Each structure stands twice: as C-alpha cells, then as structure tokens.
Amino acid sequence: MRAATNDRYGPPDVARVTDVPKPRVRDGQVVVRVEATAVTSADARIRGANFPAGFAVVSRLLFGIRRPRRRVLGSAFSGVVAEVGAKAEGHAVGDEVCGMVGFAMGAHAEYV
C-alpha cells in the first residue's frame, strides 16, 4: 500500500510516497479504501514541527520528540469500506463513508 510518509520534521520536501503495510481489520472496525483526504494546516504544522508558542514542548511529547511518532499523517478522509471486522455493525463492504481518525493519524494513505 502506498502512503505519504514523514521520517523527520521539516519543510514539504521531507514527505515521501512509500510502501507501508495495509491496516488489518480488527473486531468492531472497518478498513476504508481512501478516495479523498484533506491536507490541513494542522498536518503542515505537525510535519514541520511548527507549533504555536507555548505549545512546543507539549506538542513534541504528543507528536514525537525528534521525528513524527506517526509516519503517515492526515486525520480526515472519505472513501469506500473495503473490509468489515467481526462485531462491526452498521457498515458493509462497498459503503461510502467519511470520517476522522484523530490523533491516530494515517489518512494520507490508500487504506485507513
């Protein structure tokens, strides 16, 4: 699976498209094939470690001290359900969905 990844903090050119493992479906969850994702100012701030004054230390602890803790950024997505886990209710393969993954990140990938 392809994804935009960041191995270090810095300007936009630190982002690379690389192969990463496809997420496994878990009980109560679905895997979505991402059709569209948002690249927000928050993504740019995290990638560049450009945190607001007074929040740098807390942000580094949350997002990674020396490099981003999550290699694949992105929190908002829309797409199509590709797999449905056991105990997942309300969705079926082929359903169009949208959502946010929050601090888990990972929406800048083919699957989330």
CB 80 within 8 A of CB 94: yes
Reference 98, options 11, 30, 43, 22; nearest CA is 30
What pLDDT was estimated at residue 38? 94
Contact partners, residue 62, CB within 8 Å, separation at least 6: 69, 103
What is the rounded radius of gyration, in angstroms, for the C-alpha atoms of the chain? 15
Distances (CA, A) of 41 to 17, 24, 30, 86, 103: 19, 29, 27, 36, 15
Per-residue pLDDT of the chain (112 residues; tens, 9 = 90+): 999 998 999 999 999 999 999 999 999 999 999 999 999 998 999 999 999 889 999 999 999 999 999 999 999 999 999 999 999 999 999 999 999 998 889 999 999 9
Q: Taking Cα atoms as reference points, which of 83, 101, 71, 77 lies closest to residue 4?
A: 71
**pLDDT score recorded for residue 85:** 95
- Is residue 17 within 8 A of residue 71, CB to CB? The reply is no
C-alpha to C-alpha distance for 3 and 17, rounded to whole angstroms: 5
Query: Phi then psi for 55, rounded to 5 degrees?
Result: -110, 0
pLDDT at 28: 94
What pLDDT score does 26 carry?
93
pTM of the model: 0.87
